[in-house]
Structure 1
């Protein structure tokens, strides 16, 4: 299946001191993180952003995948970075944040820190509880992509939400919520004041349950859900580089 233009995975090999894994969101693509990745690369970091299975082609492909397929894709990239870089950070947007949290739960202090932008661990949508029933009769529903405040910006994402895939995402949410106390790495969480896709309760749940002692919360006042393509994008990029450097410096001081 042909990958949509702009949806391709990307990578940059920089310093072996710092590696950064970027994880895109549900029905989205690396395109939403490309500018973020370029900023990290300019800072000298090694960067990897895979295209998750079922994404970046046609929405029907997503219904043939489950959360373990998406997780294995980012896990494989993480292992490669862990084998080549001194310190590895994991960053994610939306479901990419969910995957980042799961990696943090599995790999512990092998991950130096995590950066989350509008991460999801639940939904308040009333129809979500009927997902398994809907999946049996309804392949897709209207999409959730392109929630951007900035004029002229467009997210490369499916215009339909694959229902079976959404049900699988719900299973990942449940696992990640249960294991949030296992997240002990330094954490930078940036979330939009207005987000039409991921409700504020998601960030509240994460901040209230993680075991991390070093936690920084940043409210994005001028962006919607796809904040990495929105008015606060530069703030996200700058704060993430500052975060990586501060964690690295703290580690050096500790030794």
Structure 2
């Protein structure tokens, strides 16, 4: 590790001021950022911790919308949304291990947009809105490729608002060592139609599987996508699995998620 400054603001305004300093980077639970710093893949001059900003912590329900503060840990999301949005609770409750769930935050996960992270699939599959200290960003516009988002430099995720769907489920095929998603699929049935978001599989990061959505909008059943799989040409190939294997898993996990929706 190397020398850096550390700031722990108490309000969003203080956090924004701290982030305006050249070389500053936001720090949630550090589950992604700190390992990259140790590997010298990132070298921020100032770490700005968001965990002390009280207005960015917690979960609240307002009608058919659940809003999660950007500095809320995975464990807190899982516990608080169990009766409000079981699909999201199940996703959050199966991220990493207890140590990761009690340190990692939803804002940190979405800001890093790791191609194998779970929250991007939940946000995109739900049609969530990512709120920052400057604006609201629809999930469809927020994710822009592997590790790429619509966030501007210094912009902070303050909360994420999830419209609660009629039915939803997340299925993940884990890489056993890291418990990241080798492939993860979030399926949500809403009044406006079905959304299917896939993480861990594509070279372009999280994406919506439009072919499956079209089929499921006509018939929300496993049979509607029987035999369908992802496009292997777009899939990651690495030591954990080929593109063809990941493409197959996309179909399998989508059907499992539909079955789990009941």
Q: TM range, normalised to the smaller chain? A: under 0.3
Whose helix proportion is higher, 1 or 2?
Answer: 1
Whose strand proportion is higher, 1 or 2?
Answer: 2
TM-score (norm 1): 0.26
Higher RCO, 1 vs 2 (CA within 8 Å, ≥6 residues apart): 1
Greater Cα radius of gyration, structure 1 or 2:
2
